[in-house]
Structure 1
């Protein structure tokens, strides 16, 4: 069982302790508190220290204000590496330094004592208890924080230049301003505030015996802030490796570029956008290990094997950069890199029912790229056709992304062994697929509905490539409102049939949604308003063609279109050799 040292302490007790030698490690995020958060802290502390604006109503022996936990572990350099509480500790240090700037120049005994107490919170002391203003109680090695030197300079000197615009400088100016206003408005209270902050504001330092334990505690405690992402930990390992090889500055530059690319192309609900890049690369390394296990281990568990040995290779960062560049080309639909056919297939995959295609494609790219980082467009197009046909069908026949791991993982291994992707062991029975497509309820809430409609839209040879950020929604060609008003469909399920649905730009879909087909036509085609404003039509060529061929769209048309889509999709499976 892991050992923990937990002891509620005042700010003064924690900061003046001889063992207090805090380090904000390289993998932490830059300081990010803004004025609003500092204002909240100041207001809360002030209300606590002076209840009802009366210093006499405060009980110095019993009143306490809890500021939260500080999670650390002692690293190999005997420093307390901060896992949780970095932002809070940094802000408290700035606040105390701002107070010291005032009290350090006062001559009365109480002020001198207050200044001495504050100084022992900020600076290390010698064996006689004298603060050494060259040795701070806190240091920062955050690799992505260009302003950390300002933080350390402010703590040492108490001086902020007008040219300094960092969060440290901004917040320090805020606190000095608040303290100055406080001194003017409450001169008789002035001596009490910093002492009540140091002596009655409580922190809960939790010292773990290892980084892993500290991170686990942090994840348990912290349900409001942003926990350290896996990538933050990986960055630290890279940083140490490149620092040892005298390439620290080169690494920091390359890492920032990688972060910028990842932020552009990968979304992240939690953690870092780069977690997705590391995940996509993991599948390539995993395949090279011949790992077919369908239980995929957590990202950090994968990379931490053998003391993060994979992150201590030059080729790993190189490969991550190459893979990120590939995906930025995909996101930007770079037609100097990909053929039009490939770009259309990638646009279809943008609507895939799950994300497994991106992992398989990453493996394919890493294995098949040439020295310039390019793919053969003909072979890549064939690969994309194959995985679209397979993944779409598998999502209908055996729904669930986890189910897809079973056939996909062996194909990843085939790819790294320079074998073609065939899915030979998972081909489909034609009659079963047809029956499934005919009976499947393609409701709007099911991802496969949009997937099928995207594939169908791009089967039209005249269909132009749409930007990936085009907001497309599912259009009911025979509208729901029309069915409510006219009850024209004998089978109400025809309304939700694949034959009655198409992808349509969001703005047009809103305008056309409640109209009869004859009324929808002008929205499909585009028109000019009475005031001369041009309303562009859809880019979906099928809807444009429908609008020129007929003035109505009835149940028979829905059924005919459904049959056509299903037949074409069966042909697509046959063309890609996925039928038994």
Structure 2
């Protein structure tokens, strides 16, 4: 027999209790995708609770079984039959919040409460001291995090999760969102809703566990909505299915798109609805209708909306050429984030409140925002909030295109100005940021700006570096003769991945490390106009890359309009250094990297990176050493009152040094691992809605 009740994480963890993960449970396995989804849920909840403190978010269930032998007056112990991954992750998040708060302002009240009430049993000794006791394989790493040991945040899954949350908490938060780390903690402890299912003594716990992990296919949001709607039409369901529902399904071609349509419909009136809440949101709205005729009318409305949504999926069916071109471009870009706003624009035109010309210009502003954000390294951050919010916040007293341009130009939309765009094109490592498909799309669109008569077929092309990623001896010799041998690596690392050095070719493997004379002949023969322009140069290096970058910047500025010049937004941020800080936060304890390796992964040069670390505080900067594995002679703590020895700190974290003072080479993070950490740091909020 089991009993279930809805509760909060705080109520589960409070009191003198302990939760043991049984040995038959697998070790902790949550990866970056799971962590990113939870972080988005928690931060969105914190933002929502800033407006309504009673807001909650359901995250699933935990199944608990009392441990035999617990007696009155002693600690109450439970086996975690199901939900250990979720429970472990949430306690690691609380530990990260505790340490973040202590680091930024030594907030003893909040940190003590989290540690003593939610993470440990303050007055108990081991083995009853920790609130959660993971499987034996995870206990040492987990205890290091909870106890705040120097070894916390190692390279195991427990350490990776802790470092993930420390990295996210270190990121700057838009003041307009109304929350900080304390509010995130409150969202976790009080706002996350959990169903706690308790078994009774005598229940076969292992059989319960098996049944929980062998469930069948679950109904989708679309399935639930279809069943609910047709249940509400006792007399007209067959006719409605034949005349409205089946044609709608056929028009959208699959059930996932039908579910998305219902979600987009909710976003037209409520900006903060997640796709996972589609059924609940639609059911809550439809429950207000008492008669079958009202339900039929709703399906008629949704069917009409579906025809507009189909234009977004099949732009070739749009009759206006300008709108068709913009819808095609957005489909090529492959981002789902603008969908609520694009559908809204089509609805506005459909009801007669906007012309096709106005909608086409509004779609161009959306495209411009996406392009400019991509080129400055801000591809996706916050877009899933921005576009639904625009539906609600556009100034309806203005033409829709003018209203949208003004909206995108104001606030923290990261709609890059012409100056910031040009600067980013010259220095940002475009090849290592954003989605690979969008890099190729960007270059394809740039090629179209050359007014090429021949149609570019992207499927046959790949992105090529003109100056190669790895310099051959001939390339190194030629560049050294012009710029000096000592500057070759720095100049190469700083410019090899920038837009000015990238092009499209159909023979990437054939070009490879060829010297520029041979590459130039192949580029000259190319049907791609941008390659013919490159081939007009007699040599290729940093000077030519910068010149081409400036030329491409001007083409881009003319093609994709920038923000409204009449709206001044002063936002001083650099995505490169934010990326560095996120990556540094993920460096595992007991390991080290070099200035050169870090610069290579970030797509910059070692010197500006070193200058940044020497002048601006950055997380785990002491784990960045010279290429010989030594603490740099110029290393200084940025904090004026900090005098501890960085080598001793590294040793406490588990790093070993030779008698000569060099860090163990075996503990140096490989370039491959560093790149994986970079990818984990650059999470994509569009990965899961």
Report the TM-score range of the alignment, normalised by the length of the smaller protein.
0.3 to 0.5
Q: TM-score, normalised by structure 2?
A: 0.41
**Higher CA-based Rg:** 1
